[in-house]
Chains A and B, each alone.
Chain A
Amino acid sequence: MGPFASTVVDLARVQFATTSLYHFLFVPLTLGLGPLVAIMQTIWHRTGNDAWLRLTRFFGTLFLINFAIGVATGLVQEFEFGMNWSVYSRFVGNVFGAPLAIEGLAAFMLESTFLGLWIFGWNRLSPRLHLATLWIAVLGTWLSGYFILVANSWMQHPVGYKIVNGEAQLTSVWALLSNGFALRAYLHTMLAGLIFGSIVMLGVCCWQFLRGHQVELFLKAAKLALIVAVPVTLLQLVVGNRFGEAVTSAQSMKIAASEAQWNTCQPCSFSLFQIGGFTKDDETPSFSITIPRILSYMATGSFDGQVQGLTELQAQERRKYGSGNYMPNVRVIYWSMRVMAFAGVVMFLVAVLGAWLYWRKRLERTRWFLWTALVAIALPYIAASAGWVLTEMGRQPWIVQGLLLTDRANSPSVSTTWLGISLGFFITLYLVLGIVDFVLMRRYARPDRPVTREEFPEPAVTY
């Protein structure tokens, strides 16, 4: 399916993919930079060392520029379910709507209100209370993530519902909130946020070192970034693997597709790289590099585990749901999984290398690493986008796994023409927003910009 897809459903899918991938360029940086800025302010509060105040304000500004677009594009997401997917909305509203509404009331309200207090409260609130407002705002962003992932995970692995008159109805809110799939997805996503925060922060610090600018100040921030980056990138590799197990039981097809595993295997080797083998007519790759037994371990937790193949799963699904193609796009799923995983490994290596150089007191002078870390800012963005492509395209043809097909879920009242126009509209608007945001972020992260204590005159960071 390309950008020139012609049917209504394809256009609606491209639109949802575009807007949500774009939204998620900003969200994880908010999730990760928030706590890091809060830690910096906490250290300033504890030690009274001005350097930490200056860092708080420096990274706080980047945090806020980024936050604004996250908010703006989040509104689109909330509207888009109803606008483009009205059949879906009617079908799932009973279940899926609840976490969205709770997110707004209990989490988004918290982060928006307390962020306003933080931005404008520097001289109005006592330092303690002012620090608390940031931590509460951060709590809001993390709560927000939980409820959104509860909603999303229900589409991947529906629980706590029954079907009445062709609609899903909630039967247990506890089952919904404690969905194992959601808890794992939450952990995975929050770690991704911390990776975003720490890798971006490390990259920005390294940019400063490259220009020899305020080295002593930014070494403090680099240290903090590395202290976070090393454990979270490592943990993410483990959690990512464990998450695979949850996917295996809930969405066997997604795992089989992510490995381009056509035939059921036991034990199964993990394909690192392959050419061909992505279609029914071409099941065997012409070239591949594999590691024995690793797929079994990743998918089942045992080196001898059995992984069902696409062909067998397709036959099973057909018996269950009637004729049709129940396989996602194998090539896309295979590669999105690898792009995500390889980027994750590279980020771990960058973090470990950075920590070693820091420990040897050579970080700020090792220019090749400084350039690497600067370029590595792109990695979390690539990994997260690939991760969502895997998650969402891997669920196809279902919009809600096993319950509702994507091509029956769109809005009947919205024509191809208008979907095309709205897609063009969002792409144009988002491109402009993205360019302005990039220029602003760059300007405020620029090494020759003075990092002042009074940079944000009371009462405004932003106005």
Chain B
Amino acid sequence: MDLQIFWFCLIAVLWGGYFVLEGFDFGVGMLLPFLPRNEGERGAMLRTIGPVWDGNEVWLVVAAGATFAAFPAWYATMFSGFYIALLLLLFFLIVRVVSFEWRGKSESARWRAVWLWANAAGSVGIALIWGIALANLLYGVPLDSDGDYIGTFWDLFSGYTVLAGVAFVLVFAFHGASFLTLRTTGELCERARRAARLLAVPAVAAGAAFLVWTVVVAVDRNDKDVFPPILPAVIAIAALAAAAVLVYAGRSGLAFTMTVLGTAAAVATLFTALYPRVIVSSPNFGNSLTVADAASAHYTLAVMSVVALIVTPVVLLYQGWTYYVFRARVTGEEVQPPTEAIAPTSGS
């Protein structure tokens, strides 16, 4: 297979991995202020993703790094063009990372509330901005003939791109709720189930609207036929709808499988719709950046392919093992054990 196409697909897979894995972390974060009734439950909810969120976030680091290496022009145009959006994104990313680590470092209820909301705001913000940013790659942004962005921050907002952001938020909230039904126990689990039911219809509606609109945008603005983007779109819509039905039927495991599939297929839809371009230019369609324009030379791609083919299976193996190690449900009743010192050897 052509290495440029291989790397385009691989980057789609990396984004897919990022959204499938961090998607439920975002969902858990968004639900943090609403589901738990006490500190024990808050801790339990955070512990459902505690061991894995950092590893999940690395999928973004790899997606961005791989874009830099395999499609330097894509990375350069996208990151400099979406400047303000990415600045806001970095703010949310940073606040969210430290919220995980810092919340438990003080007993103060106020301190803990601040970082809880920071985590929730970060989760919503990141999902919203990525939704808007990635949708803009397809919807088209003003580029000059050098491939530099010549629009303003406000050019990133249109009905379609904002819907994409909202759909990302709702689908991840749903994805996270369905994850929590698998990872918690007792009342917390019951509340997660109710949240999943509450979110199912809006998430499916927004997700389906975004996917259908994506196919329309691909045809209208990216010179595509309805087929093939319609194929992953249909799979994504069907999976999300099935997840909603399964949530109501009380089949948590299958429902989560379906939100995973739905998220992955939605990312596939976006990238299928985008190919063979990586950033559509609008109004000057001719300035669009294509896979071939943006790609690195064959040698770089070949080297990176060898590394990716060797390392990725290993990564999947040990990340999978992590999920296996922490497969047990987290209970909300766990109380913090006493923290008095055990027999200090000397001194105070």
Contacts and interface: CB of A to CB of B under 8 A. Distances in A.
Contacts of B300: 94-95, 97-98, 169-170
A411 to B, nearest CB: 4
Contacts of B93: 72, 75
B75 interface: yes
Contact of A460 (B104, B308, B347): B104
Interface in B39-93: 43, 46-47, 50-55, 57-58, 60-62, 64-66, 68-73, 75-81, 83-84, 86-87, 90-91, 93
Given A102-B304, A103-B65, A124-B326, A453 B148 contact: no
Interface stretch (B248-256, B276-284, B317-325): B317-325
Contacts, number: 275
B159 interface: no
Interface in B69-123: 69-73, 75-81, 83-84, 86-87, 90-91, 93-94, 97-98, 100-105
Interface residues of A, number: 92
Interface stretch (A115-123, A184-192, A287-295, A340-348): A115-123
B61 A75 contact: yes
Contacts of B76: 82, 86-87, 89-90, 93, 411
A462 interface: yes
Contacts of A65: 101-102, 105
Contacts of B58: 104, 108-109, 112-113
Interface stretch (A261-269, A328-336, A444-452): A444-452
A100 B43 CA distance: 35
A292 B276 CA distance: 64
Interface in A366-407: none
Nearest to B303: A173
Contacts of A98: 69, 300, 303-304
B86 A79 contact: yes
B5 interface: no
Contacts of B70: 97, 101
A214 to B, nearest CB: 5
Contact of A89 (B54, B62, B68, B86): B68
Contacts of B73: 90, 93
B55 A113 contact: yes
A73 B94 contact: yes
B50 to A, nearest CB: 6
B341 interface: yes
Contacts of B100: 68, 462-463
Contact of B64 (A79, A215, A418): A79
A101 B80 contact: no
Interface in A51-79: 51, 64-65, 67-69, 71-76, 78-79
Interface in A433-463: 433, 436, 440, 443-444, 447-448, 450-455, 457, 459-460, 462-463
Interface string A316-340: 0000000000000000000000000
B311 A76 contact: no
B149 to A, nearest CB: 4
A84 interface: yes
A113 B320 CA distance: 10
A116 B58 CA distance: 12
Given A124-B326, A216-B346, A462-B100, A116 B297 contact: no
Given A101-B65, A120-B326, A169 B344 contact: no
Contacts of A71: 54, 97
A121 B341 CA distance: 22
A318 to B, nearest CB: 29
A91 B60 CA distance: 23
A106 interface: yes
Contacts of A106: 307, 311
A231 interface: no
B345 interface: yes
Contact of B65 (A50, A64, A97): A97
Interface in B258-302: 296-297, 299-300
Could you tell me the dominant secondary structure of chain A's interface residues?
Answer: helix
A81 B75 CA distance: 9
A162 to B, nearest CB: 9
A459 B69 CA distance: 38
A238 interface: no
Contacts of B47: 120, 459-460, 463
A425 B43 contact: no
Contacts of A93: 68-69, 71-73, 75-76, 296
B34 to A, nearest CB: 18
Contacts of A413: 80-81, 83, 148-150
Contacts of A116: 50-55, 322
A412 interface: yes
B84 to A, nearest CB: 7
A212 interface: yes
A82 B57 contact: no
B51 A120 contact: yes
A89 B75 contact: yes
A107 to B, nearest CB: 10
A425 B345 CA distance: 47
B255 to A, nearest CB: 25
Interface of B: 43, 46-47, 50-55, 57-58, 60-62, 64-66, 68-73, 75-81, 83-84, 86-87, 90-91, 93-94, 97-98, 100-105, 146, 148-150, 296-297, 299-300, 303-304, 307-308, 311-312, 315, 318-319, 322, 325-326, 336-342, 344-348
* Shortest Cβ-Cβ A-B pairs, 5 listed: A93-B72, A82-B79, A97-B69, A450-B341, A113-B55
Given A79-B79, A452-B340, A457-B339, 15 more contacts: A65-B102, A73-B94, A90-B76, A91-B72, A92-B72, A104-B65, A112-B57, A120-B50, A169-B296, A208-B347, A414-B83, A418-B83, A418-B84, A451-B341, A454-B338
Interface of A: 50-51, 64-65, 67-69, 71-76, 78-79, 81-84, 86-87, 89-98, 100-106, 108-110, 112-117, 119-121, 124-125, 164, 167, 169-171, 173, 208, 211-217, 411-414, 418, 422, 425, 429, 433, 436, 440, 443-444, 447-448, 450-455, 457, 459-460, 462-463
